[in-house]
Chains A and B, each alone.
Chain A
């Protein structure tokens, strides 16, 4: 699973992490039963506070996307894998169009975020 965070962004770090993980479950790179890295491990990897990662994992647990058990870590649940084929195809189309128009990834992301909200 690929995680991107931008400390300069307006979006809270834990929300950025949760967003990256949600995206990975949608594209299918995080399959059902896949174990997420331990919170400590991910915190070290991104050089952030472990509580930030834990908060992200708790958000995902509350959404039912992961199972969070002490000692077992966070495991992706069946809930996380819906039928996302159409969505993934639509995303590819949007990205292809954005590339054609030479729109930067950050601009595209901002566009989607603002339209969605």
Chain B
């Protein structure tokens, strides 16, 4: 096979796998930011916190990191409910959620990062499952399980969330609260309760993303910072409240980054990926799957 074609195919495949990690990281934000309009800038920090607890529990009990991420998700759900409770009580209820709410989540991010340094130390932490050192080879295409397993978990989590939002009454209520909270109240549903529940789900997804992250790379308390720009960009590009949009935007983001890195050098990757975001927004301001206002 032509060497350039091999490079291109591998760039696309590795980009899709990287996109799986991005999808895991961005899916929770698609719920909190996309559907609830809560600018949770601490989401990547919550993901890193999830990664640290995965390392702690996984190392202690000898469990697979992805399994631990799923098992601890209910605890993160409760944490999300608690965070939303504080946010709602002090900011949203008073109508001060815009700027001061943003400052609140910035503070949460800072507290999480410093808390992780104090609790775990600033060193890199890792938990490599045995499959992390295995690479499947399909002809000329490499499929490292280190990237494939987290991508599959992300797809499964997104699929389940999608079904929940489309098929269950509560899921439909979450979609509705994003559009018109007052109308929801007229249907005898408490929008605050629905938002609390949805925010809990978004933080539970941060736990899953944390498990995916720790399989892909070692984590340190400040690891979340490199994801902040990317996850918000993916949410916006996907169309804010659209989960399929979030997934496709994440995959495209990964492919654009990796193909660019292969042929033009990694320095160009972020510029091309974010340039592509601008291009999408220029022609479709509502994002790839968003509905025009």
Asked whether A and B interact, the reply is no
Spell out B's residues near A (CB within 8 Å).
Answer: none
Spell out A's residues near B (CB within 8 Å).
Answer: none
